[in-house]
Chain A
Amino acid sequence: MERMYKRWRVVVIMSAILFVVMADHLRSPTFAFNMGQGTQTTLMQRDLGACAPCGAPCPSERK
């Protein structure tokens, strides 16, 4: 099959995504914690007591 993309574009897009992920990480409490400057990291974020995967409360609690 003939190639239908430009290699440099794929490299640029992947590099940009990696850059954004890194930038987000470097500003995070987890990175600060790893550098010995923070007090917390949130490796387990999911709230198992919530009523939905997004962490929404139960309708009965809202009432």
Chain B
Amino acid sequence: MTVSNAQATVEAAGKFPKVDRFIITLSLLGMALLASLIWLETAPFLVGLFFVGALLGIALYHGAFGFTAGWRNWVVTGNGTGMRAQLFLLGLACLLIVPVVSGGIEGTAGTIAPVGVSLIVGSFLFGFGMQLGGGCGSGTLFTVGAGNLRMTLTLIFFIIGSVVGTVHLPFWLDAPGTDPIQLTSSLGPWGAIALQWVALAGLWWLVGRREKRMTGKTSHGLLDRDRSVSVFRTLLTGRWPFLWAAVVLAVGNLLTVILSGTPWGVTFAFALWGAKIAQFIGIDMTQVEFWTWDYGALALRDSLLVNVPSVMNFGVLLGAMLAAGLANKYNAGSKNPLVLRSVLAAVIGGSLMGYGARLGFGCNIGAMFSGIASASVHGWIWFASAFVGSLLGIKARPYFGLGN
């Protein structure tokens, strides 16, 4: 009996499919250890954020929720399912988060950032880099958690690029730019939500129109899943429909706002990890202007366990590891041997993403998702500029032996 036949028999018999018990045990042990440490040494809200991170990691893995592939699929094949899932995510998050950060819960604030040359250049470089690197900030993180070797290389160069970005950011901030623009300050929370929904609806229509022109049909795959498998089993072992993942990501971001006071961000932690390593090998990062600003200075001096993005990233890594164990696919992304051109793409892509994330004030999560969910104009500019960079990145992929 072949493996696929055996699996089909197991499915038909209603038995639970094989899971990777070693990876599941190790990820749960890692979660228990880290959560205990955070509980003992810091504060309960950080434990909450750690588990929110783990939940987000599970959703990213089981939903295969990658911004990079979603953009590429639409551009190359016309398939707009991934794009529509992202637009739905932005619309839902905006509805959930804008009222909260606009005075709904005291002590919370939205994700804002200056609008100018730094943002445009940074997000453009990020968009180009994410197509070569093979994933955005969250995509890199969850695939590393799932044991992907090439993405680990991307992450290492993401961190290096981030550190260089922190050194250069003050220079870019002196280029022309304006203070953050929040739609809520002129339109109020509900006016800002309405305006953003109109913009998202317009993009939804555009995605569908192009898809129909290229493929002759409009796919409605947001709730697609393997119907031969029960809902419970799908929930545990994947693959989730895009809609499930989008709902979990939006609610997870809302929980992050409630617990930490601000929306979800990923890439500041990469810069922090890199700066701490640089300090360890004797480079004095405290002399760099970026690390003299209040937040950076506090984060660099203190423990990673009190830095919200770091704690959440640890959660995402372990959550994705658990999900990969449940799907019995840990390290499955590394089955093809690494070739030089693909390694080079990971190095260039990771470095550009790291550098771009600092200049652009975050990645698809911290700048685009959380920015738009806070009704900040910088989120939209990030989206547009990164998309243009991504178009060039898609054209460059074949030169590195990467398929489209």
Contacts and interface: CB of A to CB of B under 8 A. Distances in A.
Contacts of A22: 37
Interface string A44-61: 111110111111111110
B332 A1 contact: yes
A14 to B, nearest CB: 6
A58 B180 contact: yes
B43 A54 contact: no
Interface in A1-21: 1, 3-5, 7, 10-11, 14, 18, 21
Given A30-B303, A41-B302, A59-B179, A52 B261 contact: no
Majority SS at the chain A contact face:
loop
Interface residues of B, number: 62
Contacts of A3: 20, 331
Interface of B: 18, 20, 22-23, 26, 30, 33-34, 37, 41-43, 46, 109, 111-114, 116, 147, 169, 173-174, 177-180, 260-262, 265, 268, 271, 276, 290, 293-296, 298-299, 301-308, 314, 328-332, 334-335, 358, 361-362, 366, 370
Contacts of B177: 59
Contacts of A31: 41, 303
Contact of A51 (B46, B114, B302): B114
Contact of A53 (B22, B265, B298, B328): B265
Given A1-B18, A56-B361, 6 more contacts: A14-B26, A31-B303, A41-B302, A54-B296, A54-B358, A55-B294
Contacts of B18: 1
